Amino acid sequence: MPQVGFGDDPRRVVATDLSHRFGETSFLFVGLNFTLVPNEVYALTGPSGSGKSTLLSLLAGWSEPTSGTLSRQNVDKISWIFQNPHGVAGRTAEDHVALPLLARGRTHEDARAEARVRLARVGLSRVSGSPFRELSGGEAQRLMLARGLAAEPDLLLVDEPTAQLDSRTAATVNDAIAAVAGQGSIVVVATHDPRTRAACTGVIDLAAQ
């Protein structure tokens, strides 16, 4: 399980002997131990039914584990990117990324400038002025990554970002996932795609249970 140096950043998520099941059913996972820290992107992998979505819910604080502990230390702001990208049809890609920056008090000019930088990091400079309704599936997923990170969450959860994409489009999303490492957040990506797993810097493998 992931164990990396903490540096000077006090934020971390620590699982100790984490286990979960629903009612009297079989355990989805037993005795998970891991430590997650900022500037890393962790692939959460395992076959269907292994508990990936459930573990995301535990990480988000939406559910409590059956046993063990999950400690979020200095992790206050959590964002979640779901499988199906949602945006405002007529708003541009730049609008979507600028909005969370404006909400944090940035000036309009600064928010726009930073939005363009963040879009460039995920390969979307070409479509920064395009409305959401004109984006391809892969472009919309990359936009969600840029927007999610613009909110500067302590923990960003991403659920199966390439599940509904063809291989070429998925590759562009995986490149974007690799690019978000080092941008300040703890990022966890639930995925069944080995190429997405390879794009991440660490792995939580529920199949190893």
In contact, 26 and 180? CB cutoff 8 Å: no
Q: So what's the pLDDT on residue 127?
A: 96
Q: So what's the pLDDT on residue 52?
A: 94
Q: So what's the pLDDT on residue 12?
A: 96
Q: So what's the pLDDT on residue 80?
A: 92
According to the 3-state scheme, what is the secondary structure of 36-55?
ECCCEEEEEECCCCCCHHHH
Q: So what's the pLDDT on residue 79?
A: 92
The span from the CA of 189 to the CA of 155, in Å, is 11
Q: So what's the pLDDT on residue 4?
A: 45
Which parts of the chain register pLDDT below 70? 1-7, 209
**Structural domains present in the chain:** 1-77+154-209 (3.40.50.300), 91-152 (no CATH)
Output the CA–CA distances (angstroms, integers) from residue 73 to 7, 70, 77, 81, 101, in the order listed: 14, 10, 11, 21, 24
Q: Is 83 exposed, middle or buried (0-12, 13-18, 19+ CB in 10 A)?
A: middle
The pTM of the full predicted model, rounded to 2 decimals, is 0.88
